[in-house]
Amino acid sequence: MKNKTAAIVLSGCGVFDGSEIHEAVITLLNLQKLGAKTAFFAPDIPQSDTVNHADGSPESGVRNVLAESARIARGEISALSEFRAEDFDILVFPGGFGAAKNLSDFAFRGADMSVNAEVDAAVKAMVSAGKPVGFVCISPVIGAKSIGGGVKLTIGRDPQTAEAIRALGGEHVECAADGFVCDSERNVFSTPAYMLAADTVQIDRGVGAMLAAMLKSAK
């Protein structure tokens, strides 16, 4: 049996303006432990902002999402424009503010958000093919907007974000930090991670369980 293939979409490097590094690494590690072949992608676009992670202050200068994401991927990463759904069995989005600032503009516009065109196309291509798509932490807002139709998603228990998911066209399902939610009709998965989790152990349990279910669901 051939190994399943997994695409991981990053949004920069660092929780406040890019990918949440713990979530990205936990995603990679669990996929590899489960025997999946992995590939990283990110949109080749400017970051919306840059944040000093030591004190939370804004920094000047414009960084590139692909270049920043390459820090996590150890340079082994492709522009999201090169993603093809037929090459992968599953697609996963770690969280971090980059998902809400760079892959979408949820951080700035809330329920009036839009999704980056390449991100939107990747999600829709996988869903159309019946292939599993997984969302971690805040990234389920992308699924709500791109998929709609009452797709079942979770960000844990945060009432404000849960209401935004409903306004975007999703159905929010409460979930424990170490659990996940599956919309079996659409093959869409989500887990709260740092939207609810207190530590990386809880995140590892939730992400690991979600990814195992996704790979099992992949045809």
pTM exceeds 0.95 for this model: yes
The CATH number of the domain covering residues in 5-217: 3.40.50.880
Q: pLDDT-derived band of residue 13, with 50, 70 and 90 as boundaries? A: very high
Confirm whether 175 is a catalytic residue.
no
DSSP-derived letter for residue 114 is -
User: What's the CA gap between 80 and 43, in Å, rounded?
Assistant: 5
Mapped onto helix, strand or coil, the DSSP state of residue 138 is: coil
Q: Which residues make Cβ contacts (< 8 Å) with residue 205, sequence separation at least 6? A: 178
Residue bearing tokens 């991981």? 8
* pLDDT per residue as tens digits for the range 69-92: 999 999 999 999 999 999 999 999
Domain locations in the chain?
5-217
Instruction: Give dist(CA 154, CA 174) in Å, integer.
Output: 6
**β-pairing verdict for 5-9 and 37-42:** parallel
- Give the tens place of pLDDT for each residue, 125-169: 999 999 999 999 999 999 999 999 999 999 999 999 999 999 999
Of 13, 137, 175, 182, the catalytic one is 137
Q: What pLDDT sits at residue 1?
A: 46
How far is C-alpha 63 from the geometric centre of its chain's CA atoms? 20
Q: Could you tell me the pLDDT band of residue 49, with boundaries at 50, 70 and 90?
A: very high
Percent of the chain scoring above 70 in pLDDT? 100
86: how many CB neighbours lie within 10 A of its CB?
A: 7
